[in-house]
Structure 1
Amino acid sequence: MTASPPPVLPDDRLASGIARLALHYRGRFSAETIQRLVIDSYERLAEHARVRTHLVVLAEHLTTERLDALAHIEGAPGCGLPRVPFVCSHNAGRSQMAAALLAHRAGGHVVVSSAGTDPAAEVEPVVAQTLTEAGADFADAFPKPLTDEVVQAADIVITVGCGDACPVLPGRRYLDWPVTDPEGAPIAVVRHIRHIRDEIDAHITELLASLPST
């Protein structure tokens, strides 16, 4: 029986990322699993991208998030922190704000992520501005698709406007935060976006009080 030919990578530069991840997760995940997730992550991101300049790097970041979630599902050592993904439709506004604020306030005691059921091409600029004002780290944020691994690994899935599009899995705890959508808001209404930010922050105060590990 002849061996199957290796899959054709959508971008040759993905090979370097696959090699890095294979080294990092050596002994935990096979090279085949890593390659499959990298290619899948790249293709999902490419579906919504306007510019593909940074897609290879973003695909590696998304794959890392998915592999860490898989490790948590499998009970790998050192993966015991509460995991909270925020989900909205486009992952360009509310879910990004919530994730950045929770990560800022939790101080490393919560694994935070965000995703969209129909991710946009980029984060709303006015959202980035208001988060920077609040001292939250927003440098590496980008809209990303919701994946099964992240939902399965979650302790609490918080939705902020994705409606019925968010998958509901047995055994997961779900919260829905009714927060105004800032998408498309011009910079002139930044005061309104600050109000949304503060509204989300109030929800986060309640959330932190309910998480035992924080």
Structure 2
Amino acid sequence: MLRVTLHSDPNRLTLTPVSTGLRVGFWLCIVVAIAAVMRRLLALWQAPSAAEPPDLQRLDAFFRSHATLTYAHIGVALVFVCILPLVYWNRTRLWQPVRALYYLLGLMVGLTAFGMSANPAGGIIEGAAVVVFNLLFLFSLAQSFRAWRIGDAIADRRWTLRATAIVLGIATTRPVMGVFFATARLTGWTPHQFFGPAFWIGFSINTVVMEIALRRHARSIE
């Protein structure tokens, strides 16, 4: 998504694109994540609709039964996703308030995600995916914070990209879920059955793609 170019003055570190595909993927994930949060908020605010498919009705009812935790998680996640572009925009990426907010909100997203995983809609398979990738996200976030504090721009950028890719995996799960919803009549799977595989697929795609990109462009950022 980004190439890091180092100058003799560390404050002049600049970022240039290395992959149009990754940049497009970044913005698509942002849009999808925001849309998913807004859809969930509307479902929590509105009364159940008989016009919705039965699977969606049951899913919405499940989240309404955990409304407080759901509000906390998606509310923090919405703000976190909205500030992500500022973390990479050259005019704001060195602002300490932006980075401090990035780490604080990232930590809150991770902690509330653990809460959501205690009783996930997709059962134990989804819960396991959330725990595994949430741990990877928090580890990457911690490494990014450590590198930022000591002024290691290269490690900071690499770990920040990893953390960002992992957390945006929640957006990649949405089209995967769409495929499962579309094929439900053929497979007979309900959201409870396919949410777990969708989470594993979505988060794995983002994690693997970013790792491949970092390794492929290692010479560009080291």
Decide: shared fold, TM above 0.5. Answer: no
Question: Which TM-score applies when normalising by structure 1?
Answer: 0.26
What TM-score, normalized by structure 2, do the two folds share? 0.26
Structure with greater strand percent: 1
More helix by share: 2
